[in-house]
């Protein structure tokens, strides 16, 4: 499954109405740690069968970043059934990210 790029226009359908958990990566192009996490998130998305993987560019989607109270990036959030079930800030290893979703 590929990474879904989230915007305020598709957020409701892709995340809140999703029948699968959604791992969301809040990032920005100027963020060094984000560039370290991004390939890991992409790899997880390629392998994911039981959940969706999405990304939010905070510079383009500030409203979504505010809604999730994102203060530092990268921030990883897991949403299941419309509720946040896990959140982590900073660079994480693949295993740590996968544990968040399970």
Quick: pLDDT tens for 7-56. 999 999 999 999 999 999 999 999 999 999 999 999 999 999 999 999 99
Is position 34 annotated as part of the catalytic site?
A: yes
Write the CA distances from 54 to 16, 38, 95, 96, 102, integer angstroms: 12, 11, 18, 17, 16
Domain ranges for the chain: 4-101
Q: Is the pTM of this model over 0.85?
A: yes
**Which residue among the candidates 34, 58, 79, 101 is catalytic per the annotation?**
34
Topology, domain 4-101: Glutaredoxin (3.40.30)
**Which residue among the candidates 31, 86, 89, 91 is catalytic per the annotation?**
31
pLDDT of residue 1: 73
Is position 100 annotated as part of the catalytic site?
A: no
Residue bearing tokens 């295993």: 95
């Amino acid at each position: 499954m590929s990474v879904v790029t989230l915007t305020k226009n598709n957020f409701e359908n892709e995340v809140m109405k999703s029948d699968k958990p959604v791992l969301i990566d809040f990032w920005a192009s100027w963020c060094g740690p984000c560039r370290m996490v991004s390939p890991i998130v992409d790899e997880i998305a390629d392998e994911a069968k039981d959940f969706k993987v999405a990304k939010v560019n905070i510079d383009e989607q500030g409203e979504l970043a505010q809604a999730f109270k994102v203060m530092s990036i990268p921030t990883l959030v897991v949403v299941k059934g419309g509720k946040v079930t896990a959140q982590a800030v900073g660079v994480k290893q693949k295993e740590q990210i996968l544990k968040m979703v399970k």
